[in-house]
Amino acid sequence: MIQIEAAATIAGALAANIKRVIVGNQHAVEQGLVALIAGGHLLIEDVPGVGKTTFAKSLAISTGCIFKRIQFVPDLLPSDVMGVNVFNQRSGDFEFRPGPIMAQVVLADEINRAPPKTQAALLEAMEEQQITVDGVTYPLPDPFMVIATLNPIEYQGTFSLPEAQLDRFMARIHLGYASKEEELTIIARQERGHPIEELEAVASPEQVVLLRHAASEVQVEASVRDYIVSLVRTTREHPSVAYGASHRASLALFRAARSLALLRGREYVIPDDVKEMTSPVLAHRLVLTVEARARNIDGRRIIDELLRSLPVPGLPR
C-alpha cells in the first residue's frame, strides 16, 4: 500500500534524525518512536544524565511538534501543569492561561517526585486528551504525547507511581549507559555545541497523524494476534506475578507491534515485532509478588523468561 510505504519512509527518516542526536541504545530510540506512532505515552526509566531530555526534545523537534517541559517537584500543583484562569482587569473576564501541558510533546521530568494529586491530573490528561479547568474542558492538541521520566535511584522524597497508573504508559524504555565507543562519540559530537541545536524537523505533526493512520492499516495475521494475546495472558499466570498485564496491555502491544512493523517498512506484523515490543510494553505493567520483589526479580526478567518459553504459534513443524 502506498500509504504504508510513504509512512514507513517518514518513520525511517524520523528515526534516523533522532539517532543523529542520541548515541547509544538504538532499540530504545526506536521503541520510543513506536510509542509515538502508536499514539501512546512513553515512560523512560533511567539514571540521570543519559539523554532522556535530549531524546524527548529531538523527538519533538524532528516531528515539528510543540515541546514543553515540566520539571516535577514535590510542591508542584496541578494548576502548574494544566494552567490557570487569570482575571483580566481590562476585559473583566477570567482568561485561561494554559499550562505546559498544552503542547504536542510534553516532557514530564521525574514524574515520581510530584505529589499524587498532580500525578493524577497529568494521568487524567493523558487518558482523556483534554483538561478541565474550572469546569471548562480544553482539548489537548493532536498529536499529544507525554514522555515521562523516572529516576530509579532516588527513593527519598519521591512518590512512587502507583503500579496501576503505570498501566497508562504504553511503553517503558531504558536508554542506559552508552558503550565506551559511544561515549567517545558523544564527547566528539559535542565538541563544539550540541547536535540538537542543528536538528531540524523532518516531519510535521500532520504527518505524525498520517503515520498513526498508516499504522492502523498494518495487517496482523491470526497467529500473531494469538501470540500477542497468549503472551499477555501468560503474564497473568506466572508464579512471580501477582497481577499480570491487562486488556489495555494487549491493545497496547497490538498497536505497538503494528507501529514497529511500520517503522521497519512492512505492511504486516511478524512475531519478531511482537517480541521486540513485549518487554517495553508489558514489563512495567506486572505487579510482582512480595517474594519476587524480595528476590529482586523484576518484570523484565520475567518477560524475557516468557519470551524464551512461550511457543510461537502457527509455525510449521
Partner 1 sequence: MAAGSMWQRLSGRVGGLPRTLAAEPLTFLLHLSALLVATWSVGLAHWASTPPLVLIMAISTVSALLVLRLQRPLWVKLVLSVTLGAIVIYLSSVAVVDSEGWLAKFADFNSRMGWWWKAVLVTDASTDSLPFAFVLTAATWGVGYATTWALFRHHNVWLAVVPVGAGVLFNLAHLPRSQFLYFFLYLQLALLLIAQTTVAHWVKGLDVRKIEHPRSLGYVFLALAVALALTAVLVAALFPIGSKPARPLRPVSRAIDRYVGLQEEFQRLFGGVKSGSQVPSSLHFFGQVLPLVRPVPDKRTPVAATYAPWFWRVRVYDTYTSKAWKVTDTALRPAPGAATTIQGPDYLDPAEEEFPLGLPIEANLIYDIRLVADIPYFLTAGDVVYVDQPAKVEVAKAPTYRLDMAAPTSGDGLPSEVRAWANTLPGSPEATSLLAQSPGALDTPEVQVIEVVVRDPKSGRRKSIQVDEGETGQRDALQQELKNGELVSGLEVRLRAPYEDFLGLKRQSRGPLYTAAGNLPNASAADLRGANGDYADWMVDRYLQLPETLPQRVRDLAFEITKEADNPYDKAMAIEQYLRHFTHRRRMLQIPFDADGVDYFLFQTKEGNSDYFASAMVVMLRSMGIPARLVLGYGPGAQDERLGSYVIRDSDSHTWPEVYFPGYGWIEFEPSPIYPKGPRSLQTLALAVALGQIDMQAPGEGGSTTEEVAKEQPSDEGGGDDEEELPEDLGGRFPGGRGPFPIPLNYFGAPLGAGGAVFLLALGGLTLAIGLLWATRVFILWNVNDAYQRMGRLAAFLGVGPHPWQTPFEFCRALSIVVPEATRDIRLIGEAFVEGRYGGRKLTLKERYRLLLAWRQLRRTLTIAGLKAEGFPNHVGERA
- Which of 30, 24, 12, 10 has the alpha carbon at shortest distance from 272? 30
Dihedral over Cα of 304, 309, 314, 315: its sign: positive
Which one of the spans 7-15, 46-54, 195-203, 269-277 is the region binding partner 1 (CB under 8 A)?
269-277
Which one of the spans 11-19, 100-108, 201-209, 303-311 is the region binding partner 1 (CB under 8 A)?
303-311
Q: Is 266 in the site for partner 1 (CB under 8 A)?
A: yes
Q: Is 309 in the site for partner 1 (CB under 8 A)?
A: yes
DSSP 8-state symbol, 164: H
Binding residue for partner 1, selected from 269, 277, 286, 297, defined by CB under 8 A: 269
CB contact set of 301 (below 8 Å; sequence gap of 6+): none
| Angle, helix 247-263 to helix 2-21, in steps of 10 degrees | 90
Length of the chain (residues): 317
Q: Is 193 in the site for partner 1 (CB under 8 A)?
A: no
- Nearest distance in Å: CB 237, partner 1: 16
What the block records as the C-alpha cell of 191 is: 565538541
3-state SS, residue 198 = helix
- Nearest distance in Å: CB 317, partner 1: 7
Write out the binding residues for partner 1, residues 126-165 only, by CB under 8 A. Answer: none
Q: Is 244 in the site for partner 1 (CB under 8 A)?
A: no
CB closer to partner 1, 162 vs 314:
314
Binding residue for partner 1, selected from 275, 287, 289, 301, defined by CB under 8 A: 275
Burial 135-173, CB ≥16 within 10 A → b, else e: eeeeebeebbbbbbbbbeeeeeebbebeeebbbbbbbbb
Q: Is 272 in the site for partner 1 (CB under 8 A)?
A: yes
Q: How far apart are CA 262 and CA 30, in angstroms?
A: 11
**Cβ atoms 116, 155 nearer than 8 A:** no
- Nearest distance in Å: CB 230, partner 1: 11
Q: Is the peptide bond before 143 cis (omega within 30 degrees of 0)?
A: yes
Q: Is 237 in the site for partner 1 (CB under 8 A)?
A: no
Q: Is 314 in the site for partner 1 (CB under 8 A)?
A: yes
**Cβ atoms 41, 148 nearer than 8 A:** yes
Q: How far apart are CA 126 and CA 101, in angstroms?
A: 10
- Nearest distance in Å: CB 246, partner 1: 23
CB closer to partner 1, 90 vs 308:
308
- Nearest distance in Å: CB 64, partner 1: 32
What the block records as the C-alpha cell of 155 is: 527513593
Q: How far apart are CA 250 and CA 231, in angstroms?
A: 9
Q: Is 3 in the site for partner 1 (CB under 8 A)?
A: no
CB closer to partner 1, 1 vs 209:
1
**Cβ atoms 249, 285 nearer than 8 A:** yes
Q: How far apart are CA 63 and CA 70, in angstroms?
A: 19
Which one of the spans 69-77, 86-94, 175-183, 301-309 is the region binding partner 1 (CB under 8 A)?
301-309
CB closer to partner 1, 73 vs 307:
307
Size of the site for partner 1 (CB under 8 A): 22
CB closer to partner 1, 153 vs 222:
222
Binding residue for partner 1, selected from 270, 287, 300, 301, defined by CB under 8 A: 270
Q: Which residues bind partner 1 (CB under 8 A)?
A: 219, 221, 223-224, 266-272, 275, 307-312, 314-317
